[in-house]
């Protein structure tokens, strides 16, 4: 018996809608012509003539690009699809959708943070401006004021922003994005199952002490001290997460993360 007889007839090929083909071709055009934010694609009439299709098909293709965050539609006589930069939040939401169907735990997150945050910290040594140092110090002051409350995490609403400020100083967009994404998971999606006031206060005190030590090392442009402080900071933060019995919420698909405890 032949192999084809055993396997049966090949599965029919999925037909790709014309609007999807046009959307893909426009994506290729954006890449090929190196279009930048603010540049325009041809208007609807020109696209209809180019692709030889109806207005509804073009609008469906442009809507797909708009949903992806690649274009925004400008109205008026000189309007049309305008290229826009994809925001970090939009890209992060796509990753959250993927992770919604995975098993995610803090050991996995901190395995990355121990590497990525150390790399990020070392990479910005000597790159921090006085404006960024002022932001870091203001962040620490805000954390001190917030921790004067009950110290249960809900009051520590600024701690994770310290690490986002370091992302702002990075010249590596991929590294900065990955660190921001992990920060967003911790900021938006964490719940504590332990309500121990002592543990929450100790966690807050650790975060503030680590951030102060990091600022001192950054000002001294001491890369080795930054490496050591950041690694210890990540290890201790993971330890506190375990002691506070933290978990991720299950609804990672939410477009609007509900307010929750802020952790570092």
Which of the pair, 107 or 263, is modelled with greater confidence? 107
Instruction: Tell me the pLDDT tens digit for each residue of 96-126.
Output: 888 888 887 888 989 999 999 999 999 999 9
pLDDT for 128 beyond 60: yes
pLDDT for 4 beyond 80: no
Structural Rg of the chain based on CA atoms: 24
Comparing CA positions, the residue from 71, 183, 72 lying closest to residue 120 is: 183
Say what the pLDDT of residue 14 is. 65
Is residue 61 classed as helix, strand or coil in its secondary structure? helix
Say what the pLDDT of residue 258 is. 43
CA distances from 169 to 130, 152, 165 (A): 11, 30, 7
Is residue 213 classed as helix, strand or coil in its secondary structure? helix
Domain with CATH 1.10.10.10 in the chain: 18-83
Provide mean pLDDT across the span 171-195: 86
Residue 56: CB atoms within 10 Å: 10
DSSP state of 107: H
Say what the pLDDT of residue 233 is. 96
Alpha carbon dihedral 166, 168, 172, 178, in 10-degree steps, equals 70
Say what the pLDDT of residue 111 is. 93
Domain 88-248 class?
Answer: mainly alpha
- CATH 1.10.10.10 for the 18-83 domain, yes or no: yes
Which of the pair, 115 or 184, is modelled with greater confidence? 115
Domain with CATH 1.20.120.530 in the chain: 88-248
CA distances from 91 to 81, 97, 124 (A): 20, 10, 23
Comparing CA positions, the residue from 210, 236, 67, 68 lying closest to residue 140 is: 210
Provide mean pLDDT across the span 145-158: 63
pLDDT for 145 beyond 90: no
């Amino acid at each position: 018996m032949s192999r084809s007889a055993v396997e049966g007839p090949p599965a029919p090929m999925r037909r790709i809608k014309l609007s999807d083909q046009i959307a893909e071709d426009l994506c290729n055009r954006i890449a090929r012509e190196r279009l930048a934010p603010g540049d325009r694609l041809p208007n609807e009439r020109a696209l209809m003539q180019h692709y030889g299709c109806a207005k509804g098909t073009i609008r469906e293709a442009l809507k797909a690009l708009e949903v992806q965050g690649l274009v925004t539609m400008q109205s008026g006589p000189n309007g049309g699809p305008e290229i826009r930069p994809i925001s970090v939040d939009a890209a992060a939401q796509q990753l959250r959708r993927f992770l919604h169907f995975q098993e995610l735990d803090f050991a996995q997150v901190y395995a990355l943070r121990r590497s990525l945050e150390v790399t990020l910290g070392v990479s910005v040594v000597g790159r921090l401006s006085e404006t960024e140092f002022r932001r870091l110090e203001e962040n620490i002051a805000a954390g001190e004021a917030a921790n004067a409350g009950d110290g249960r995490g809900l009051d520590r609403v600024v701690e994770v922003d310290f690490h986002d400020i370091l992302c702002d100083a990075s010249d590596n967009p991929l590294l900065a994005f990955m660190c921001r994404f992990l920060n967003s998971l911790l900021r938006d999606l964490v719940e504590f199952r332990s309500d121990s006031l002592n543990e929450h206060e100790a966690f807050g005190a650790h975060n503030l002490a680590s951030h102060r030590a990091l600022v001192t090392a950054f000002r001294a442009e001491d890369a080795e001290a930054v490496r050591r402080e950041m690694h210890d900071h990540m290890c201790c933060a993971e330890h506190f997460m375990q002691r506070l019995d933290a978990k991720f919420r299950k609804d990672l698909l939410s477009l609007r993360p509900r307010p929750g405890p802020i952790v570092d």
